[in-house]
């Protein structure tokens, strides 16, 4: 492999976690390549919250500033592309992109995020990340005291209702099928005047991507100003799994407290390895991953 295509570390994913890892490594003079296709999961979210010094900024504003700052470190390079394959080789790893480029590195950091599997229901995707939201910490304050729906079932719905109840007492749970709550959970929901509706949803009506109504399969209309959705997800990249990285029961890349995966030389950070989906958490995890990779490289060469 050509020397210019060989790095100390390849970071797959160049959003908050990946850029944070890169900065940590760049400040330790590590030769780093960031491969990113610039399609973050929060691409249409209007404002990011709960991140100190950046509260209320758009996700793009934050990532653009982060990228500008990371680019100042001369040992960091960027590749605008999609990583499609990874393999273990004698001196580390190789990553292949969709364009056929091949890059090598001693260590890998995956900051590839996840893809939300939004139900194929009219209006859902239009409002996703705007008024159909996933996290009360990221978005809940702006919808405090509003008429609020929660699209989820079982433990996830109960947990979401518990958190949202601190922001509004106007909550309805929509299970889109038979409700799956324990007797104790049902009692708690009833005590807090939280209605549970099992009817399937036909459509979400909105104005400029802000929820106005949910239309149920039986024609009933429910007025909401905000709706939380606890939807399934899949990994944005299957390369960690193909390389042998262990996954958790929830579908995340399994890491230890230092962001190290089950495979030697491979780390993961951000949404792909944590249920805590926030900019602040991604930045922290990336910073830690970068520091741990640098420590590992230093130990090996010392």
Q: What is the pLDDT of residues 24-56, one digit of tens each?
A: 999 999 999 999 998 777 777 888 888 888 888
Please tell me the predicted confidence (pLDDT) of residue 292: 98
Maximum separation of any 2 CA atoms in the chain, in Å: 70
Does domain 3-116+233-301 sit in CATH 3.40.50.300? Answer: no
Reported as a single tens digit per residue, the pLDDT across 251-281 is 999 999 999 999 999 999 999 999 998 999 9
Helix (H/G/I), strand (E/B), else coil: 2: coil
- Contact of 275 with 159, CB cutoff 8 Å: no
97: pLDDT confidence band, cut at 50, 70 and 90? very high
What is the percent of the chain where pLDDT is above 90?
88
CA distances 231 to 191, 268, 288, Å, are 26, 22, 28
Helix (H/G/I), strand (E/B), else coil: 69: helix
- Contact of 294 with 24, CB cutoff 8 Å: yes
Please tell me the predicted confidence (pLDDT) of residue 3: 64
- CATH for 124-229 (3.30.565.10, 3.20.130.10, 2.40.50.90, 3.50.50.60): 3.50.50.60
Distance CA 194, CA 213 (A): 18
Checking if the pLDDT of 61 tops 80, the result is: yes
Give pTM, 2 decimals.
0.94
3-116+233-301 matches 124-229 in fold: yes
Reported as a single tens digit per residue, the pLDDT across 174-231 is 999 999 999 999 999 999 999 999 999 999 999 999 999 999 999 999 999 999 999 9
**Which of 281, 285, 274 lies closest to 49 in space, CA to CA?**
281
Instruction: Spell out the domain ranges in the chain.
Output: 3-116+233-301, 124-229
- Contact of 272 with 236, CB cutoff 8 Å: yes
**Hey, how many other C-beta atoms are within 10 angstroms of the C-beta on 195?**
12
- DSSP states along 170-225: -EEEE-SSS----HHHHHHHHHTT-EEE-SPEEEEEEETTEEEEEEETTS-EEE-S
Distance CA 261, CA 47 (A): 32
């Amino acid at each position: 492999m050509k020397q210019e295509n060989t790095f100390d570390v390849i970071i797959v994913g160049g959003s908050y976690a990946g850029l944070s890892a890169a900065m940590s490594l760049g400040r330790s003079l590590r030769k780093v390549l960031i491969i990113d296709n610039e399609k973050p999961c929060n691409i249409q979210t209007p404002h990011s919250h709960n991140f100190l010094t950046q509260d209320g900024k758009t996700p793009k504003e934050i990532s653009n500033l982060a990228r500008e700052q990371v680019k100042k470190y001369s040992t960091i390079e960027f590749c605008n592309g999609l990583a499609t394959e990874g393999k273990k080789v004698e001196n580390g790893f190789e990553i292949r992109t969709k364009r056929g480029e091949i890059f090598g590195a001693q260590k890998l950091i995956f900051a590839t995020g996840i893809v939300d599997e939004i139900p194929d229901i009219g209006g859902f995707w239009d409002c996703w990340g705007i008024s159909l939201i996933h996290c009360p910490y990221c978005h809940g304050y702006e919808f405090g005291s509003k008429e609020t729906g929660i699209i989820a079932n079982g433990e996830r719905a109960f947990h979401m209702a518990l958190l949202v109840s601190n922001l509004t007492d106007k909550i309805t749970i929509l299970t889109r099928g038979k409700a799956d709550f324990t007797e104790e959970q049902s009692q708690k929901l009833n005590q807090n005047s939280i209605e549970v509706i099992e009817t399937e949803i036909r459509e979400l009506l909105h104005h400029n991507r802000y929820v106005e109504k949910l239309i149920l399969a039986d024609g009933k209309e429910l007025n909401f100003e905000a709706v939380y959705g606890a939807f399934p997800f899949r990994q944005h990249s299957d390369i960690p799994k193909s390389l042998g990285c262990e996954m958790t029961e929830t579908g995340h890349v399994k890491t230890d407290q230092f962001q190290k995966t089950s495979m030697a030389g491979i780390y993961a950070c951000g949404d792909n390895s944590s249920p805590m989906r926030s900019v602040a958490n991604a930045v922290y995890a990336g910073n830690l991953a970068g520091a741990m990779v640098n420590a590992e490289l230093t130990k090996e060469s010392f």
